[in-house]
Structure 1
């Protein structure tokens, strides 16, 4: 669904992403891991058009099966093509209800006609039905009329996924969805990630290694902007270069959730 060739981003003398060749299939969940400063968020921003690359290209496979060069697309164009994302920091309208947050996202993906001011309100019922269905899917059906700011942190993370699902995208980029989520709520979030990965291509940035090893079909590892490993979770976990650069002594089940104020997989304080 999505691929890069030699993708590079420099900020002055700093190379944040260095010649990355990467491909995400239509039916897989790939986790992107690496130490802080490895270039993960920059890579996300290049894929979504938020940043322009210094070099290389980004291609997107459309429904007809043709690969299209989208290197110069802006975020709105990428979203309309079917690539949606969530963010590290909760990014919803706090005073709007959960339903309104998702409905607005659905309208934004609905094209120019979705925003004609003088249309009868009944013309927007389709977007509301879509929003309610998505909220049911992410476990927030009973919170449809609740203001986003009063939801728990875990519920807000579910709402962010709901917003990303609006408009039925083909590809979801989820940026640290478990960050700050309590250990009690992580299991529900993991089940949600599995659920959306059943019918979407998913690229997941995540620091919780238990989550990564549990949900991923593939794991790609960035270190100092370079892709140093890409393969099945078990193979990546045992890769000497990966263990040296990032995983350290991770054996599974460790308190490795940087987003929850714990320890990163490399053993450094978050």
Structure 2
């Protein structure tokens, strides 16, 4: 059974890569690029390849614009990793905007091309996929055939991971509310608001994308009104909601006065586990 490590670009996922390098040296390492990751995430990924010498396969979805026709994938180089939003844009042209109750983005840009690639390479059911989910994320540790977790080989919790990275020559240099998909629909509105303050140019680019007239509009209120986030909010309405709040005020609304949820997609976006976050109402 071939071991495949799905590297999300987060710290826990990267620590899993480090452990699998030692335990299963023949592991295949793969990163599914959405074109919407933070630039520091891409820098982190390139540092891992440079410092650890792993062979990392990077894939992007290739969208067939015809509804009812399957999408494909293409392999890209490390130099092509960039926040150009292109895969996200192509997916939205075909399917419309993702929203909290219709989070097809992870499935379309990550799970489906990942599965097609490795079914082509090794054959269906001839590999097992490793996800960087820790022992302190019990609601995401759901048994699923063909999947294994960081928690299966390490008892490290979130703080252990953070401490481990402090001793390394490089790290993921972004706060959690920004990583890795900066304006992920699964984040709370306060984290989205904080991200718009910290990365105003990225917010502008994302707004331009979701306002693109070529994006498909399905006859439902969420997409017609650009509603993607919790509380029937659009990105623009979230920005308006917090316009009279300072950055420190917004930060204080996040659990623990600047702390963050453990075990949420705000940390990293894994292949199938983000859907479980929605199913079990992880906030």
TM-score, length-scaled by structure 2:
0.28
More helix by share: 2
TM-score, length-scaled by structure 1:
0.29
More strand by share: 1
